[in-house]
Amino acid sequence: MSSYLQLSGISKVYGQFTALEGVDLDIGKGEFVTFLGPSGSGKTTTLMIIAGFESATSGTVEVAGKSLFGLAPHERNIGIVFQNYGLFPHKTAAQNVYFPLQMRGMKKTAGLRKAEEMLDLVGLEGFGHRYPKELSGGQQQRVALARALVFEPSLLLLDEPLGALDKNLREQMQIEIKRIQRALGVTTIFVTHDQSEAMSMSDRIVVFEKGRVQQVATPLEIYHEPETKFVAGFIGESNLIEAKVTDAEKGEASNAALGAIEYAPTGKTSTGKDVTLMIRPEHIRLSRKPVDGRKNVTMKVETIVNYGDNALVIGKVGDLPMRVRVLGADVVIIQEDEECFISWTRENVYLIAK
Amino acid sequence: MGVNIAKLTQRTDLWPWLLLTPLAVYMAIFFVVPLADVAIMSFTEPSPTLSNYERVLTGGLYLRTFLNTFVTAITVTLCCLFVGYPLAYLMASSKPRTAMLILLLVTMSFWTSFLVRTYAWMVLLGNNGPVVWLLQTIGMERPPQLLFTRFSSTLAMVHILAPYMIMNIYSVMRKIDPTLIRSAESLGARGFSLFRHVYLPLTAPGIANGSVLVFVICLGFYVTPVLLGSPREQMIAGLIGNQIDEFLAFGMGSAMAMVLLVVTLAILAIYHRRFGLDKLWG
Taking alpha carbons only, the member of B69, B51, B30, B33 closest to residue B249 is B51
| Mean pLDDT score across all residues of chain A | 91
Predicted pLDDT of residue A6: 94
Q: At what angle do helices A108-121 and A137-149 cross, to 10 degrees?
A: 130
Number of Cβ within a 10 Å radius of residue A232:
24
Distance CA A156, CA A151 (A): 11
Predicted pLDDT of residue B73: 94
Evaluate whether A21 touches A57 at the Cβ level (below 8 Å): no
> Which residues in chain B come in under a pLDDT of 50?
1, 277, 279-282
Q: Do A131 and B280 touch (CB under 8 A)?
A: yes
Taking alpha carbons only, the member of A78, A79, A53 closest to residue A66 is A78
Chain B residues with beta carbon closer than 8 angstroms to that of A131 = 280
List the domains of chain A with CATH numbers. Answer: 3-231 (3.40.50.300), 237-352 (2.40.50.140)
Best of B186, B192, B196, B275 to disrupt the A interface (most A CBs within 10 Å) is B186
The reply to whether B182 touches chain A by the CB within 8 Å rule is: yes
List the domains of chain B with CATH numbers. Answer: 1-44 (no CATH), 60-281 (1.10.3720.10)
Evaluate whether A22 touches A9 at the Cβ level (below 8 Å): yes
Taking alpha carbons only, the member of A187, A177, A6, A204 closest to residue A79 is A187
Stretch A260-276: mean pLDDT, rounded? 84
Percent of chain A at pLDDT > 70 equals 99
- Kindly report, residue by residue over A14-69, the tens digit of the pLDDT: 988 999 999 999 999 999 999 999 988 999 999 999 999 999 999 999 999 899 98
Evaluate whether A33 touches A205 at the Cβ level (below 8 Å): yes
Q: Cβ neighbours of residue A248 under 8 Å, at least 6 residues apart?
A: A265, A269, A270, A271, A273
Distance CA A79, CA A293 (A): 55
Would you mind telling me the total number of residues written for chain A in this entry?
354
Stretch A214-220: mean pLDDT, rounded? 94
- What is the predicted ipTM? 0.81
pLDDT of A336 above 80 = yes
Predicted pLDDT of residue B112: 82
Residues forming beta bridges with residue A252, ordered by sequence position = A247, A262
End-to-end CA distance of chain A: 29
Chain B residues with beta carbon closer than 8 angstroms to that of A133 = 280-281
**Closest partner CB to B189 (pick from A79, A90, A103):** A103
Q: The whole model's pTM is what?
A: 0.81
Distance CA A199, CA A218 (A): 9
Chain A residues with beta carbon closer than 8 angstroms to that of B193 = 103
Grouping H, G, I as helix, E, B as strand and the rest as coil, residue B282 is coil
Distance CA B185, CA B180 (A): 9
Best of A50, A53, A103, A134 to disrupt the B interface (most B CBs within 10 Å) is A103
Pairing of strands A259-262, A3-14: unpaired
Predicted pLDDT of residue B281: 41
Answer left, alpha or beta for residue A22, where phi above 0 means left and psi between -120 and 50 means alpha.
left
Q: What is the DSSP string of A153-194?
A: -SEEEEESTTTTS-HHHHHHHHHHHHHHHHHHT--EEEEES-
Predicted pLDDT of residue B8: 54
Stretch A306-310: mean pLDDT, rounded? 87
Grouping H, G, I as helix, E, B as strand and the rest as coil, residue A315 is strand
Evaluate whether A146 touches A121 at the Cβ level (below 8 Å): yes
Residues forming beta bridges with residue A341, ordered by sequence position = A287, A298
Predicted pLDDT of residue A79: 95
